[in-house]
Structure 1
Amino acid sequence: MTAPPLLHPLHEDPYLLVFDKPAGLLCVPGRGEDKQDCLSTRAMRQWPDALIVHRLDMGTSGLVVMARGIAMQRALSAAFAERRVHKRYEAVVDGAMPVREDWSLIDAPLMADWPRRPLQKIDPAGKPSVTRWKAVSLLSGEPAATHVLLEPLTGRSHQLRVHLLSIGHPILGDALYGDAALQARAPRLLLHASELGFVHPVTQQDLCFNRPPDFIVSRAISRP
């Protein structure tokens, strides 16, 4: 069996690591022998004290921070829970969305769709879930598609995917929430965690990481 490739962190210090996770790689092991290769397993081979703090879906690419040791895991987990971490995502969605300077808000509670797990659904009885979004540009070609920025103010499972679907603009390539036509328009889920910012729990340094998605560069963009 071929060994997985070595990880090359964007940031490394004695307390934490920051990676740019590729699409298609799990953050933690899944069920079954074929789902044991993941970001956390690879990281622990190189940094035995590496511990998961937050996750991205398998299909989502982008920035992930991992703690080194239990104390740092607790400190970073608290920062995420208390919304002291800046998170921004970029996506390409179906349809033409209005391009403007101000941000819009999706405030729709989410809960597990138990008969169809792991899917989530909007339900008044669900957990509060809030997402800020802003359309950046319309992309060339047909059917229409839009490049959007997303900032989840809560951290629910599949939040961005379900929220965008709820306003009629599902993410291209979404194999869980999209129909066959939507999936066929992209080779992967076009969702990427492009910005991550927080105060280092030990050094108190302001850390800000930016990693643009490669799927925007590969498409011609037209701005109204």
Structure 2
Amino acid sequence: MGIFDSALTKSALKKILKKQYITVNDVIATSATFIKGGECIVLSILEEDKPKKKLILKLDVLFEDDYLALIHKPAGILVSGNSFKTVAQALPQNIQRSTLPDATKPQPVHRLDFATTGILLVGKTSSSIRALNKMFEHRAIKKTYYAVTIGKMESQGEITSEIDGKKSQSNYTLCESVSSDRFGQLNLVQLEPQTGRRHQLRKHLSAIGNPILGDKEYGIESLILNGKGLYLHAYSLTFIHPFTHKEIHQKDDFPQRFKKIFPQIM
């Protein structure tokens, strides 16, 4: 398996087999090809055709080295997917290509919701993408979010539930509250998800009766805030760099709309 170090996952290997990129002794390999030892195995990946349209989207780069980058994800854009306008599509024009031998197209290694702002971790080499994925799997990367929530809350709490049949947990700390004529009370809440389920923070806060301001999917219908976006921000990531072994603690400043409600936050 040594020659396949540049492949990202087992599923990636299956894909390149299906696309007939691997030959064994000059014969196109399949998943049924048996390796005895001593064969000449060649991996040839054709250069992808460049898309006719180029997405022009400026992204703020918070940190970057040859292995990885940390960027600010704006609201109202998908991280990745089949859409033309995604963060993944815009990465090559915003991030310098790695000089390392296994440099690859930069790839986000986790997701943020369409409406969520904040810090996003990107791998720039095949080995760093694999390493960062494993770190997320083993919860070796600490994520801190902030949200503005509606209604009175306890000073801190732990929220647990099943999401899509899997256990989930989020811890929260109430940082500050202000009174509101329309919403009664608005809170600045620090959030630390212990698991990574889809829409986890939004579902958890809604479940305890404190939905996130601007959440049209999990909010209270009579209190939906239109036109201001979702008040959920991925504030920081903390982890040990998998190759330099230095601690990375990167913050992404609060959006202006948070500061309008809580002017004293930095």
Q: Same fold (TM over 0.5)?
A: yes
Q: Is residue 94 of structure 2 the alignment partner of residue 39 of structure 1? A: no
Alignment partner, residue 5 of structure 2: none
Identify if the C-alpha distance between structure 1 residues 181 and 213 changes in structure 2 by more than 3 Å, giving closer, same or farther: farther
Identify if the C-alpha distance between structure 1 residues 62 and 136 changes in structure 2 by more than 3 Å, giving closer, same or farther: same
Partner Cα separation in structure 2 for residue 145 and residue 76 of structure 1: 35
| Bigger Cα displacement from structure 2, 169-178 vs 179-188 | 179-188
Partner Cα separation in structure 2 for residue 2 and residue 39 of structure 1: 13
Q: Is residue 253 of structure 2 the alignment partner of residue 212 of structure 1? A: yes
Indicate conservation of the 8 Å contact 1:84/1:198, yes or no.
yes
Partner Cα separation in structure 2 for residue 220 and residue 127 of structure 1: 35
Deviation at 1:186, TM superposition (A): 6.4
- Give runs of aligned pairs for residues 33-182 of structure 1, distance below 5 A: 35-46=83-94, 47=97, 49-99=105-155, 103-111=156-164, 126-142=165-181, 143=183, 144-182=185-223
Indicate conservation of the 8 Å contact 2:145/2:235, yes or no.
yes
Deviation at 1:185, TM superposition (A): 6.2
Q: Is residue 59 of structure 2 the alignment partner of residue 18 of structure 1? A: no
Matched residue type, 1:187: K
Partner Cα separation in structure 1 for residue 87 and residue 54 of structure 2: 16
Task: Give CA-to-partner distance per residue, 1:144-181, whole Å, 9 cap, x none.
Answer: 11111100000000000001111011111112222443
Indicate conservation of the 8 Å contact 2:159/2:170, yes or no.
yes
Identify if the C-alpha distance between structure 1 residues 135 and 186 changes in structure 2 by more than 3 Å, giving closer, same or farther: farther
Q: Give the % identical residues.
A: 33
**DSSP-derived class of the 2:223 partner:** helix
Structure 1 length-normalised TM: 0.83
Q: Which has the higher contact order (CA 8 A, sep 6+)?
A: 1
**DSSP-derived class of the 1:218 partner:** helix
Matched residue type, 1:12: E
Deviation at 1:49, TM superposition (A): 2.2
Indicate conservation of the 8 Å contact 2:119/2:234, yes or no.
yes
Structure number with larger C-alpha Rg = 2
Task: Give CA-to-partner distance per residue, 1:95-142, whole Å, 9 cap, x none.
Answer: 02133xxx421111111xxxxxxxxxxxxxx10101011111112422
Q: How many pairs does the alignment contain?
A: 201
Alignment partner, residue 8 of structure 1: 60
Taking only aligned residues, the RMSD between alpha carbons, in angstroms, comes to 2.0
Runs of at least 5 residues in structure 2 that lack an aligned partner in the other structure:
1-52, 98-103
Partner Cα separation in structure 2 for residue 39 and residue 175 of structure 1: 23
Identify if the C-alpha distance between structure 1 residues 186 and 167 changes in structure 2 by more than 3 Å, giving closer, same or farther: farther
Identify if the C-alpha distance between structure 1 residues 106 and 5 changes in structure 2 by more than 3 Å, giving closer, same or farther: same
